[in-house]
Structure 1
Amino acid sequence: MASFNFGQNQPNTLLHYTLFSFFKLNDPFRLIGIGIYILLLTIFYITLSPFPITNPQLMWMLLGERLGQGYYLYQDIIDDNGPLSAGFFTFMDMFFGRSLFAYEVVGRILISFQILYWNSMLIKFKAFDVNTYLPAIIMASLFHFSFDLLSLSPALLGSTFLILALGQLFSQTVLQQDTSESTLLIGIYAGLATGFHPNYIVFLPYMIFTGIAISSFSFRQLMLSLVGYALPLLLISLFYFWNDGLEEAIQIWPLTFLSRKYEYQSLLNWLIPGIFPLLLAVAGYFMATVLRGSTVNQQKQRQLVIIWLLFSAAVFFIIKKQASFQLVILIPGLTYLITQFFLNIKKEIVAKIAFYLLVIGLPAVGFLFWQKTIPDSEYFVAESEVVYPGDVLVLGDNLSPYLNAKLGGPFLNYRLSQLYLDQDRDLREKARLFQMLQKQKPSRVLDPNGDFEKLLKQFPALEQQYRETSVGLFELK
C-alpha cells in the first residue's frame, strides 16, 4: 500500500487518511475537494428531488421581468428589495428569464467566492495558530443548512460585500499596516451591501463601533470609511434623481422597515437542523477564550467576529421576509468559531465524529427536514387552479397566479403596498398614485381583501375602466 507523508503526527497509511486530516492541512489543492463537495451536493439537490419555487424567488423574478420592461423600482413598482438587487435581477431576467436553475447556479458561484475569500483572509491574517482549509469545508457545509441559502437572493448578494468589508476589518488587526485604502474599502463594501439588501444598514453602526473600539480608527479613518459608505448610496440617489424618482424612493424606502412581516418559517424551524452547528460554535468560542492563549491580533479578530454575530442577530428584528436565506449573514462568524473547536479539541475521535456529522450529516438532515416541510409550508408557491392569460395584478399573499402570467400594475409586495396605500395623501400625491395606476393598467386584478375596490372608489375615472366579473376579480373593460 502506498504511503503518504502528511506530517510527523500523521500515520503513514491510507487507512488513517481521512477527510478531516485532508482539509486540516495547509495546501491550496484542498480547494479542489471543496469544489467536488459542492458539485456533488448540487447534483443531488437539483436532480434527485428539486425544491419548488418559493414566494420570494418568484417575486424576485417578477421584479426583474417588470424592470426589464422599462419600469423603475419605487417609482413604478412597490417592493422592498434594494435597488442594486433589483438591477441584478433585471440582468438575470434578460439572460435567463424565469430560470430557477440559473438562480441556483449563480447562487453557488457567489457562495464559492465567499468560501475562497473568507478562508484566504483567515490564513492571510493569522486568525489561527496553523494555516488550514478547515474553514472552507465548514463554511460549505453550513451553506447546506437550507436549500435556499444556496440560491441567489438579495441577502446573498449583500453578504458577499459585507464579507469583503469584514476581511478589510481583519486587515486592521495587523500591526504596522497602512490602512487608508482599507478603511475606504470597508465603507464602500458596507454601502454596496446596503444597496443590495437594505436590512444590512444595521452594519453601519457595527463598522463605526468596531472601527473605533477594536481597530482604533483615527478621526480621519472614521470619516474616510463613512464617506466610502455614503458613496454607493449617493450614486443610487443620483440615479433616481435623474429619472425623476428620488421623491418616491425617499417616500417608500423607509416604509420597507415598517410593513408587516412574512413569517414563512419559525425560529423552531431553524433551530431543529441548526442546533448542532450552534453547539460546535459555542464550544469553539470557550475553547479559544478559556483553554488557550491568543495573540493580540487574534483577540481583536475574535472580538470582531463575536460583535459581527450580535449585529447579524439584530438583522432579524427588522427583516420582513423571515426565511432561512436570511441566515447567510451568520455563516462567516459561525465558520470562525467552529474552526476553533476543531483546531483545539484534544480527542481526535471526537473531532472526526463531529466533522462528519457537520459535513455529511448537516446537509442530509437539512435536505430531509425541508423536504418534509413542503406540503404544509406557505413558503412555496402552490400551483394555481386557474390560469389567467396576459398580465395580472394580485393584491394578496397568494402568488400562484403569477406562475403562468406576468405582473401587471405597480403592487408587487402586497404587505408593503398595503402600508403605502393606507397613507394619508394630499391632492398632489393622489395625482401621482393615479398616474402610476393609469400607466400600468393590468388586464385583471385579483382583489381578495377589497384593496382594489377601495382604490376604485377614490378614483372614479379609474373605476369606469374596470368591471367586477366575479367576487374579488376585476377585469379591464
Structure 2
Amino acid sequence: MFSFFKLNDPFRLIGIGIYVLLLTFVYLALIHFPLTNPQLMWMLLGERLGQGYYLYQDIIDDNGPLSAGFFTFIDLLFGRSLLAYEVVGRILISFQILYWNSMLIKFKAFDVNTYLPAIIMAALFHFSFDLLSLSPALLGSTFLILSLGQLFSQTVLQKDTSESTLLIGIYAGLATGFHPNYILFLPYMIFTGIAISSFSFRQLMLSLVGYFLPLLLITLFYFWNDGLEEAIQIWPLTFLSEKYEYQSLLDWLFLGIFPLLLAIAGYFMATVLRGSTINQQKQRQLVIIWLLFSVAQFFIIKKQAAYQLVILIPGLTYLITQFFLNIRKEIIAKLAFYLLVLGLPSVALWYWQQKITGSEYFVGQSEVKYSGNILVLGDDLSPYLNGKLGGPFLNYRLSKLYLEQDRDLREKARLFQMLQKQKPTTVVDPNGEFEKLFRQFPALESQYSKTSPGIFILKK
C-alpha cells in the first residue's frame, strides 16, 4: 500500500477515492455521531436567514457572512439535514486533497512526484469526525489553500506573477469572509510575500487590493441593507466573547502526537539530512510560517473544537510526506504509514465515541419539548430540536456580551426594535438575561408572562 501511493501515477487517485469512500461508509452507515451544538447553530442560522432576516442586523452570531449565506443555501436545498452537511463536507475535503497534491507536484515541492500527500491528507482529515463535516472553518480553509497554492507559484523563477498575486489576496479575503478568525492570514500574506516571495511594492498593493475586495463587497451589502452600523458594532465583539471549550487540548494531543512526531521528523530530515533547491527551501519556509500562524489562530477562536484544526492539515501533510520520502529504512516507513493511514482513523473513531456521553459538545435531549419560535438565552440548545429560532440571540455568549454594553437612547431603541421585530413565542432564560431587559423595556415585560423559573411565554 505504501509503495502503491508512492508512485507517480494519477490512477493512484482511484485508491484514495476508495479509501475515503470506505471510511465515509463506516462513519455514515455503521457509526453514529450525534448532532453537535455548532452544527445546530449553523442550521438555525441558515433557517432563520432563509426567512428574510440578516446576520448582525437581526441575528447575533459570530459566523462569517459568506458562511451564513452558504448555510442558507444548504437549508433551502436540504433543510436541517445532517447528512447534507456530511456529504458537502467530504466534497470540500476531496477538492482540497486533489488540489494540494497537484500543487506539490506542479511546483516540484519534492524531488519525486508522488501521491503520498493525498493519502496522508485524507488520513489527517479523519483525526476527528467533525473535520469531515461542513463548517465555516472548512469553507474558509478551502480558499486559504487556494491562496497557499498561489504563493507556491511565486517560488517558481521567471514566472509572470501579476495574476497569481491578485488571486492570493482574493482567496485570502474570501476565507476571512467565511471564517473571521482567518484574518490572521493577512499578516501571513504580507510577511511571506515580502520576505520569501520578494514582492515588489506593486505586487504587495495588488495582493492587498485583492484581499479587501471581497470584504468591501460584503460591506456594501450591509450598507445597502441598512445594517452596516450593526455589523461594525458586533463584528469586533466576536473576538472578545467568552470561549466555548467543547474539547480539551489534551484530547487533541492524545490523538495528534503521532502525526506531530512524523511532521517534526520530516522537517529535520528535509533540512539537515539532504539538500534542497532554492524553490524547495522557499516552499518549506512558507509551510513552516503557515503552521505558526495556524497555531496563533487558536488564541482567538471562540469554539474550541477539532474542526478548527483543518487549517493545520496542508502544512502537516507537506512535512509528513518529507518523512516518508527521506526515511531510508523501508520497514519503518511502512509501519509508520499503516499507523497513520489505518491506525489514526481507527483510534480517533474509538476515542471520540467514548467522549459522546456527558459531553457539552453534543446536543442533548430537552426535558421539555418546545415548539414554535423559541429564543434560548443559554448554552443548552436542545429546545431548538423541535422548534425554530424565534429571536435575535443565536450565539448566547456573544449575545451576553452584546447585551452588557452601555447604550445611549438611540441604541436602546434599536435593540427594542430588534426584539419587537421577531417576538419569540417562548423564551428559555436560565440565567436571567431576558428578565434583565424588562428593566430597560417595561413594554417588553407587559408582552410576556412568566410560567415557570426561566420560562417566558408571549401573551396572546
TM-score interval for Structure 1 and Structure 2 normalised by the shorter chain: over 0.9
- How big is each residue's C-alpha offset from its partner over 1:121-177, in whole Å with a ceiling of 9 and x where there is no partner? 000000000000000000000000000000000000000000000000000000000
In 1, Cα distance between equivalents of 2:95 and 2:115 = 14
- In the alignment, residue 405 of structure 2 is paired with which amino acid? Q
Give the secondary-structure state (helix, strand or coil) at the position aligned to 1:212.
helix
Task: Give 1:456 deviation, angstroms.
Answer: 1.5
Farther-moved stretch of structure 1 (452-461 vs 215-224)? 452-461
From 114, 121, 144, the counterpart of 2:96: 114
Show CA shifts across 1:172-198 (max 9, x none): 000000000010000000000000000
CA distance in 1, matches of 2:26, 2:390: 36
Query: TM-score w.r.t. structure 1 length?
Result: 0.96
* Residue correspondence of structure 1 range 376-387 to structure 2 within 5 A: 376-387=358-369
Secondary structure of the 1:392 match is strand
Aligned-partner residue type, residue 296 of structure 1: I
Work out the CA distance in 2 between the residues paired with 1:365 and 1:391.
Answer: 41
Equivalent residues in 2 for 1:67-216, closer than 5 Å: 67-216=49-198
1:41 aligns with 2:58: no
Any gaps of 5 or more consecutive residues in structure 1?
Answer: 1-18
CA distance in 1, matches of 2:301, 2:427: 28
Q: TM-score, normalised by structure 2?
A: 1.00
| Distance in 2 (alpha carbons) for counterparts of 1:468 and 1:134 | 62
Q: Does 1:341 align with 2:294?
A: no
**Residue 9 of structure 1 corresponds to which residue in structure 2?**
none
Whole-angstrom distance in 2 between the partners of 1:21 and 1:33: 12
SS of structure 2 residue aligned to 1:475: strand
Amino acid at match of 2:427: V
2:26 equivalent to 1:57: no
- The CA deviation at 1:294 is 0.2
User: Is residue 444 from structure 1 mapped to residue 426 from structure 2 by the alignment?
Assistant: yes
Cα distance in 2 between the residues matched to 1:385 and 1:101 = 26
How many residues in Structure 1 have an aligned counterpart in Structure 2?
A: 459
Q: Which amino acid aligns with 1:376?
A: G
Aligned to 1:16: none
Please state if 1:402 is matched with 2:384: yes
State how far apart, in whole Å, the 2-side matches of 1:20 and 1:307 are: 29
1:388 aligned to 355, 367, 370, which one?
370
Deviation for aligned residue 1:389: 1.7
AA aligned opposite 2:353: Q
Aligned residue in 1 for 2:12: 30
Q: Deviations over 1:347-383 (max 9, x none)?
A: 0000000000000000000000000010021100011
Corresponding position: 1:281 with 2:248: no
SS in structure 1 at match of 2:451: strand
Please name the residue that 1:269 is paired with: 251
Question: SS state of the match for residue 467, structure 1?
Answer: strand
Q: Provide the rounded CA distance (Å) in 2 between the counterparts of 1:357 and 1:49.
A: 21
Amino acid at match of 1:342: F
Query: Cα offset for 1:230?
Result: 0.3
1:318 to 300, 310, 313: 300
CA distance in structure 2 between the aligned counterparts of 1:285 and 1:168, rounded to whole angstroms: 22
- In structure 2, stretches of 5+ residues that fail to align are none
**1:20-39 alpha-carbon deviations (Å, 9 max, x no partner):** 01100001111111111000
2:206 maps to 224
Secondary structure of the residue aligned to 2:449 is strand
Deviations 1:450-470 (A, max 9, x none): 000001221011111001010
Q: Aligned AA for 1:384?
A: S
Structure 2 counterpart of 1:461, from 443, 446, 455: 443
Amino acid at match of 1:222: L
SS at match of 1:468: strand
The answer to whether 1:243 aligns with 2:220 is no
Paired residue type of 2:38: P
Matched residue of 1:75: which SS? coil
C-alpha distance in 1, partners of 2:162/2:287?
22
* SS of residue paired to 1:474: strand
Letter in 2 for 1:101: L
In 1, Cα distance between the equivalents of 2:285 and 2:394? 41
Supply the AA of the counterpart residue of 1:418.
K
Q: Distance in 1 between matches of 2:405 and 2:440?
A: 13
Letter of the 2:382 partner, please give it.
S
Secondary structure of the residue that 1:469 maps to in structure 2?
A: strand
Inter-partner Cα distance in structure 1 for 2:80 and 2:413: 34
Shift of 1:102: 0.4
- Cα displacement (A) at 1:240: 0.3
Q: Which amino acid aligns with 1:341?
A: F
- Percent identity among equivalent residues? 86
| 1:203 shift after superposition | 0.2
Distance 2:370 2:240 in 1: 32
| Separation in 1, partners of 2:96, 2:162 | 24
The runs of at least 4 consecutive aligned structure 1 residues that moved more than 3 Å come to none
When the two chains are superposed, the root-mean-square deviation of aligned CA atoms in Å is 0.4
3-state SS of paired residue (2:194):
helix
- TM-superposed CA distance for 1:95, in Å, is 0.3
1:384 aligns to what SS in structure 2?
coil
State the alpha-carbon separation in 2 of the partners of residues 104 and 450 from structure 1: 36
Question: What amino acid is the match of 2:383?
Answer: P
> Which residue identity is paired with 1:30?
R
Letter of the aligned partner of 2:269 in structure 1? Answer: M
Whole-angstrom distance in 2 between the partners of 1:169 and 1:189:
11
Deviations 1:240-259 (A, max 9, x none): 00000000000000000000
2: distance between equivalents of 1:221 and 1:160?
A: 23
Amino acid at match of 1:57: Q
Q: Separation in 2 of the partners of 1:100 and 1:37?
A: 22
